[in-house]
């Protein structure tokens, strides 16, 4: 496992160009990373490739300033061209094994999973971390499938030795419950991207997770 990966995954921010407010994605990310976000994912389903690449390059620079891990959602080509640490892949994206062959052993590859079989397959194919997708209902990521809930987090966390992040409806009020269920951390969108003060929101989330993790040790 990449050194520091589990710690970085405690608080994972996924970008959203609509929810970020007038300051834009870069401003929100700068404030959030300065406040303790350890892992950043660029997710923009509507951007053209050239624009997405420019966003990725800007976030690569920002992530380096804040010593944060950075991946691009879906797009292996953009991740490689921008100098990102790696890519995050969903069920309908490039297979993990193919991405690993293209990107090499040093690249960071995450995979969204919903079943133990999917988790084991992603692990064997070379994923570095998993995302339980989705745990609770969330308007930012509509999904016709039922939420996994805490029982799903427990199942996925125990299926492989890889660290697992929980995504979908994550906030201060439920962060402790998913850590108890075995997640290494939480991935958030609106809890930070839509916050009036993204830095404060990130600090509150980070403190909740870190303080609770220490008490649980």
Nearest to 130 by CA among 90, 174, 177: 90
Q: Looking at residue 78, which CATH number applies to its domain?
A: 3.20.20.70
Condensed to tens digits (0 to 9), the pLDDT of residues 142-196 reads 666 789 999 999 999 999 999 999 999 999 999 999 999 999 999 999 999 999 9
State which residues form the domain around 119. 5-216
Ramachandran category for residue 149: left, alpha or beta (phi over 0 → left; psi -120 to 50 → alpha): left
CB-count exposure of residue 121 (10 Å: 0-12, 13-18, 19+): middle
Q: Where do we find the tokens 């921010």?
A: 13
User: Which pLDDT score is estimated for 142?
Assistant: 61
Region 3-23: what's the mean pLDDT? 93
Condensed to tens digits (0 to 9), the pLDDT of residues 78-118 reads 999 999 999 999 999 999 999 999 999 999 999 999 999 99
Residues above pLDDT 90, as percent of the chain? 88
Give how many domains the chain has, as a whole number: 1
């Amino acid at each position: 496992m990449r050194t520091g990966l589990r710690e970085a995954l405690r608080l994972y921010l996924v970008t959203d160009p609509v929810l970020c407010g007038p300051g834009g994605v870069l401003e929100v990310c700068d404030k959030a990373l300065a406040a303790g976000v350890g892992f950043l994912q660029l997710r923009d389903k509507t951007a053209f490739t050239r624009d997405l690449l420019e966003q990725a390059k800007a976030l690569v620079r920002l992530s380096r300033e804040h010593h944060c891990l950075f991946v691009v959602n879906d797009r292996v080509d953009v991740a490689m061209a921008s100098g990102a640490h790696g890519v995050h892949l969903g069920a309908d994206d490039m297979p993990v094994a193919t991405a690993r062959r293209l990107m090499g052993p040093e690249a960071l590859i995450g995979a969204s999973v919903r079943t133990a079989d999917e988790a084991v397959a992603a692990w064997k194919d070379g994923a570095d971390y998993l995302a339980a997708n989705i745990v609770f209902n969330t308007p930012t990521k509509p999904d016709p499938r039922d939420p996994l809930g805490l029982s799903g987090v427990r199942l996925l966390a125990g299926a492989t030795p890889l660290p697992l992040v929980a995504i979908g409806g994550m906030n201060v009020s439920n962060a402790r419950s998913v850590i108890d269920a075995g997640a290494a951390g939480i991935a958030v969108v609106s809890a930070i991207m839509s916050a009036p003060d993204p830095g404060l929101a990130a600090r509150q989330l980070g403190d909740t997770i870190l303080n609770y993790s220490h008490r649980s040790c």
